[in-house]
Structure 1
Amino acid sequence: MRCFFSFSITCLLFLAPLPVLSMQFEASIDKNKMTLDEDVTVTIQVSGEDVQDNVPFPAIQESPDFKFVNKNNYQNSSQNITVINGRFKKSIVRTVTFQFVFKPVRIGECQLPSFAFNYNNTQKNFAGSKIQVLKESPESADIDFFFTFSKNKLFVNEQMVLTAVLRKKAGSAVNQIKRPEIEKNLSRYFWMKPVTDKVEGKIESVNGQNYEVYRISFIAFPVLAGTIKIPSVPLEYTVVERRRQQNRDPFFNDAFFNSFFDNATTKTKTKYSSPVTLEVKDLPSLRKPADFQGAVGVFSIAAMVDKTNIKAGEALNLKVTVSGRGNEKSFNAVHIKNIDRFEVFDPEITATADVKGGEVRITKIFKYVLIPQVEGAYSIGPITLYYFNPDRGVYDSAQTEIAISVKPGKVSRTSGERYLSKEEIKLVGKDIQYIKTSAGRLTDQSKRLYREPLFALLTVFPFLFTLVFALVQRQRERLETDIEYARMKKARKKAARLLAGAETQVAHSAGGEFFATINKSLSGYIADKLNLAAAGLTNDMIRETLLKRGVGNVAVDEVLGFFNECDLYRFGSMSASETERRAQYRKAEALITRLEKELK
C-alpha cells in the first residue's frame, strides 16, 4: 500500500491542427498539502506504440512559488495482445516516466509550475496544480521522522548503514504509527537488506521531553552515481481528536459528565521525512580491469575439484567459492583462464547474504562441470574475481588456481589421434580365405561389364562417397577444434533438450524449477549462438548483441520481456497455473524458432 496520496494534475491540451499519435498522458503529484521543509514530486507519464528512445523532458514553465530541485526519467515497455476476427495482433507499448522535484519558497496557496511537452509533432501542455503550503503541521512537535546515514560520501555499490528514526512524544494525541515502506520508496536509489526484522522502541529524552523512539536499520548499497537527492518518504499515523458535546442542562456541565459524553475520533495523517543529499562517486575508469563486472567491497576466492587425475573426455566438477564483504548481486561470474582447454557447461550459482557486525557478508558459489579436451599437466585458471576496494580506492583482485593431470582418453587434441574403447572395436574379417571346392554358378564371359548401366553407377559411386566422407570428416574436425562454431551449430539441439525437460515439468513442477529451465533454454541458446558466456549474460548485453546481429527491435523486446516474466515467477511471490506454464513453454519454443531464422 502506498503511504502517500496521488492527486491528478489538471492537464490542458491546446487544440491545434496537429497529427494525432497513439499516445497517452498521465500526470500526478504526491501531495496537495505540505510544509516549507518538504519536497513535492510531479510525475508525468507518456506511453504508446509511437514512443521511441530519447524522448525529451517536458519543458518547465517557471513558477514564483517553487524552486526546481532535480529531475530524472526512466523507461519500460510492455507487450499487448489483441484478438480481431480470430487473429492475434501484438504491439509493444513503451512508457517513459518523468519526475520533477520542487521545493516551496513561501507559505500559503501556491501554484506549481506548468509543463510543455513536444515530441514528434505532438504537443501537450500541463497546467500546474495548486498546493497548500503550511509553516508547520499541527502534529510536527509530537512526531518526527528522519533518516541518518553512516556515510554521506561513498562509491556506487559501496555498503553503508541507513537508519530510519521515528520519534513520538510521550502522552501526545498520536495514536498508531504504520511502518513506513522504506524499501519500496528508496528502491530506485539503493539495494537494501534489513539489519533485523524486529523493531523495538525505547524511551529517550529530547530537549527535556520524553519520546518513544524507534529505529529501523538497513544495509544499503547505492546504485546511482552523482549528487543523489533522496526524496521525502511518507509516514502514516493516526491522531485521536476529542469533541465535547454541548449540553443545554447546566447540571451536565460537570467534569465527570463532560469526559463521559466526549466523542473521540481518529484521523489518519501523513508526516514526511526531510530530503537528504548524498554524494555517490562513480567507479574510476583508470586501471579498470577488462573483466571487471561491478563487484565493490573486499572478497576472497577458493576453488576445489573432485579429482585432479583424469582422462581426456571425462567430466570433473569444479567448485568456486567467493566470500567477503559486499553486494552479491553486483557480479554473476568469475574469470577463468585456459578455459578453452575444456568443454564447459553453464555453472550452477547459489548465494547467501548475512548481516554481521553492521555489514553484509556474502558467500557465492559457482559449480562448473568441465570436460578436459587436452592431455597433459596444467592448471585450471588462474580463477579471478576483479573488484573495487572502496577502503583503498583502487581495483583489486582475488585469485586461485588448481593443478590437474589429464591422461590420454577418448578425446585428445594434442596428437590428433582418436582413442577407441572396447565397445567400438569390431571384428571386420579373418586372415584365412578358403578355396572353394565346387564351381558354383557360371556366367557368360562374352558380356562386357563396362557396357552395363550398373558399371557406370559403380564407377561414379566411389567419387561421390569420397566427397561426402571428406565433407563429413571436415565438419567433424571443425566441430572438435572450433569451439565457437560447435556452440553455434549445437545451440538449437541443446535448447531442444532443455525444453524437453521443461515439458515434463509443466504439469508437476511448483513453478520455480520449470521457469528456471525454460529461462536457461533461451539464455543458453542465445549465449551459444552468439558465443557469449552464459554465466555473465545481462539484458543489456543481450539487447546490444542481438541488435548488432540484425535482430529486429520487436523480437528483442519480446525476448527481454520473456526473461522478465520468468524472473517474476522464479523470484517473486507470483505463482503460475499449469495453463500459464504451458503458454510460457510455447512462447520459449516460438522465440527460439524466431531467433534461429533471424540469426542465419
Structure 2
Amino acid sequence: MIKKTLLILIALFLIADTGKAGEVSLSVSAPNTVTVGQRFRVTFTANASPERFDAPSFDGFRLLSGPSQSSSTSTQIINNQVTTSISISYTYLLEALSEGSYQIEPAGVRVDGNNYLSEPFNIRVLAASDPAAPASPSQPHQEHQEPGRPEDDDIFVRVTVSNQNPYQGEQVIVSYRLYTRLPVTNYSIERLPGFQGLWSENITPRTQPAVTTEVINGVNYSVAEIRRMVVFPQRSGEIRIEPMEVGMAVRMRAPARQRPGSLFDDFFGGSPFDRFQTITHAVRSNAVSLQVKPLPTQNRPGSFKGMVGRYSMDVSLSPEELDINDAANLVITISGEGNLRMLEPPVIQMPQHLEVFDPQISDNITVNRSGISGGRTFDYLIIPRSSGEAEISVIRFSYFDPQNSRYNTLTAGPFTLQIVGEQDIAAGSTTLSDGRLLADDIRFIYTGAVNWQPVGKMFYKSPLFYVLLLAPLILLLVFLGFWRHYKRMQQDVTAIRTRKARKMAVKRLKNAALLLNKHNKEAFFDEIFRALWGYVSDKLSIPVSRLNKENVAGAFASRGVSAELASRFLEGLEECEFARFSPGGMDSPMEKTYNKALETLVTLEKELRNQGIRKK
C-alpha cells in the first residue's frame, strides 16, 4: 500500500504543471522596539530570485555584519498541481546606539528588469533599563514565516581548564569546545575572552578542528575544539576568564504549510517538501575562575627568578686553554616545559681580568596542543686580558616544580680557563696588581710612515668639502619624498588590494592543487570558489557586501573584459557553487575544473593589465 501511494505521488509530480509564483514582493522582519546596546537582526525576504539587491543605509544603528544571504525552496501539491516557491533572504546584524525613534528606509530588489521596494518601518530605541523594553529579541514587523531558533541545549560552547588550582606561573591549558546537535556551516569568534592577570598564547592548530561525538545526558553531540590557549597566572588569588562569544551559521528546518491530516506527513513524520534556511546564531561560553596559589616563601633559593615548571640545564666551556685576547664560549642551555619566553640568563661570577660580553640568546621553543616546551640557549663570549688560571664559579639555576611543590636548584661547574702567552706591552695597556687592565695615558712615539699634506691643498672649503656638507641634506630630502610617496601608497587600500589580488589567487590555487591530489572534493571546490571570488573582489575593488554575479559582470563590462571571458568566469563560479551545495556532488573531473579556473584567471589578468596599459 505504501509503495503504491509513493508511486502515485511521484507520477503526479512528474506530469503536473509547475505553479507560477505570484506577484513579486519584498518583505522585512525586524523588532519594533529595542534597547540601547542591544543587537538585533533585520531580514529582507524576496519571493523571487533577484538580479540585484539594494540595502538601506541603517542610519542611527551600527552595522555589525551582513548581508548574510540564504535561500530556500518549498513545493506543495494541491489538486494534482505542483507549486514551487522561492525565498531569498538578506539578514543584517545591527546594534542600537542611542535612544529615539528611527525610520529604516525601504530596501529594493530588481527582478526580470523591474524594481520592487519593501515598506519603510520604524524602530523605537529605549534606554537599557527601560521596563518597556521587549522581552524577546525580535518581533516580526511584517508577517513572514521564519524558521525556529536553536535552543540553549542545541548549541553551546564549553570552556575547560587543565588545572583549576595552579601555582603562580604554572602552565594551564584552556580549551574551548563547540557542542552542537544542528548542522553548522561556518563559525567565527566575535569576541575573544579577557585574560587579565594571565600571560597567554594561542596554541590552536592551524588545521580544521577534528569533529568527535560525545554523549551528554543521553544526547549525542558533535564536538569540535575551536580554540585552545595556554596561560600562565601572573599573580595569586582568584583570576576570572571571561566568556568568549562565537557567531555561526546554522541550518534550521522551516516546514512549509501543509494541509491538515496529510496521511503522507503523519506516516513519515514530516513533509518531504520541508525547506531549510541558514540562520545566524550567537552563543557565549561559560566563564571559569582559577584559584591561583602563591609560591611558597620558605626554602626559596636566592637564584630563583620566578620560573615554574620542570627544567634541565646543560653548560659547556670551550676551549678550556687559550692565548691572551683569544675568545672562549660559555654556552648555557636550559630546557623543559614552562614559560620559556620569560627565562632570564643566570647570574655568573667572573674573574675581573676576563672581559665578558652580553650573551647571545637563541630559542628552540615548540608550541603545540600540549603547551610550550623546548629550550633557550645563552652564549657568552669571554676574552682573557692576562695570563694565568681563571676560575668561573658555580652556575646555579633554580625553579619551582608544581608537581612536587618544591624548589629545585640545578648546578654546573666550577670551570677553569688556562690562559697562556704574554701581554703585548706595545699595545698600550698595563696590568694592575689585582688583574684589572688600565689603558695607557702616554703613548709611544709613532714610527710608521706618515702621509704629509702639501701646503695650500686643504680639504676645508674645497669643492668636495661642500659636496659632502650638502650631501646629508640632499639625502634627507630624497628620503622624505620617498617616505611621503610610500605613506600615500600605504593609505591607498584599493591599490594595495589590487596589487595583492594575483598573489592571493595563486596561493589559493596552490592550496586547491594540494586538495586535488588528496581527492578532497568538497574542500577543493570551496578553495577554487574563494580564489575566483577573492581575485575579482581585490582586483576590481568590489566590497564583499556587494560581491555578486551582477556587479561582477558590470565591472567586467566597464573594464573592457571580453564577453566570452566574463561568461567563462561566471560559469566557473556556478560550477563551484553547484559542487559545494548540491546534494549530489559534482560529476565533472576536478582536474578539469582546476585547469579551467587557472586558465580563466591567467587570461583575465592579461586582459586587465592590457586595458590598464592602454588607459595610460
TM-score range, shorter chain: 0.3 to 0.5
Name the TM-score, length of structure 2 as normaliser.
0.42
Name the TM-score, length of structure 1 as normaliser.
0.43
